[in-house]
Amino acid sequence: MKVAMIAITEEGKKVAQELARSLKGSRVHFLSRRHSLKGMVKKIFNRYDGIIFIMALGIVIRVIAPYLKNKYVDPAVVVVDEIRRYAISALSGHEGGANRLAAQVASILGAEPVVTTASETKKRLIIGVGCRKGTTQEEILKAIGQALKEGECSIDGVRCVATIDLKGNEPGLKEACLALGIPLRTVPFDLIERFNGPYQRSALVKEKIGVEGVSEPCALLAGRRTKLIVPRVKRGRVCVAIAMED
């Protein structure tokens, strides 16, 4: 996917540069006060498969409006705020791939993906993952695949992958989520520590990282009204559990 990123502030430029390091085939366009955002959008709107704007959603809506045709030909548009809270699928979510691009952006930045298309809002599965330092993308993908198979679940029904915040920057995990096009959500350490819900507790995990579990509590805590449907599955250096939102 050929992607352009447009930033209009120094903070936005930093976000764009971070994304560019992970998104192959992407290009950063930084506009100083001397340049016209409208002019840039007019120039590149139909030259890219996707455009990521690092700025306010309202600005984006106004600037792209004159160039919109239909969901089958318009590029995917994702909007990200400068402080990396949200990655919003704003245009061509399903057909153009903005939903998947928003998920990828969210995984890279640790942001919350915002997707409103009906097919995405119906996704109810949350995959909890715990892994050792240095675990590879391939190991994690195989463990996720095994858990999905055991639960007779489809990857198409997965809304996000969740892990403890201590593992949020684990390269293999981020790469796995990027490959799947599924956002990675981190659960705060103290939230897991206080969690009294039913999950398999491990003294060994407690000794190593300070909480009694990762995959199961993360799967349960990352959604609303969740229930565990696939208890912890261990494969090598990875543990995976799956929860479903009610």
Which tens digits make up the pLDDT trace of 180-213? 989 999 999 999 999 999 899 999 999 999 999 9
Which tens digits make up the pLDDT trace of 133-172? 999 999 999 999 999 999 999 999 999 999 999 999 999 9
C-alpha–C-alpha distance, residues 149 and 39, integer Å? 50
Report whether 126 contacts 242 (CB < 8 A). yes
Residue 170 has what pLDDT?
A: 95
Tell me the DSSP string of 94-160: SSSSHHHHHHHHHHHHTPEEE--SHHHHT--EEEEEEE-TT--HHHHHHHHHHHHHHTT--GGGEEE
Cα 101 to its chain centre, rounded Å, is: 9
Residue 125 has what pLDDT?
A: 97
Which tens digits make up the pLDDT trace of 80-94? 999 999 999 999 988
Residue 33 has what pLDDT?
A: 67
Which tens digits make up the pLDDT trace of 19-74? 999 998 899 999 876 678 999 999 999 999 999 999 999 999 999 999 999 988 99
Which residue carries 């399903």 as its tokens?
Answer: 94
Residue 34 has what pLDDT?
A: 60
pLDDT at 237 over 80: yes
CA angle, residues 223, 186, 17, in degrees to nearest 5: 125
pTM of this structure? 0.75
**Higher model confidence: residue 116 or residue 126?**
126
Domains and CATH numbers, the chain: 3-120 (3.40.50.11220), 124-245 (3.30.420.180)
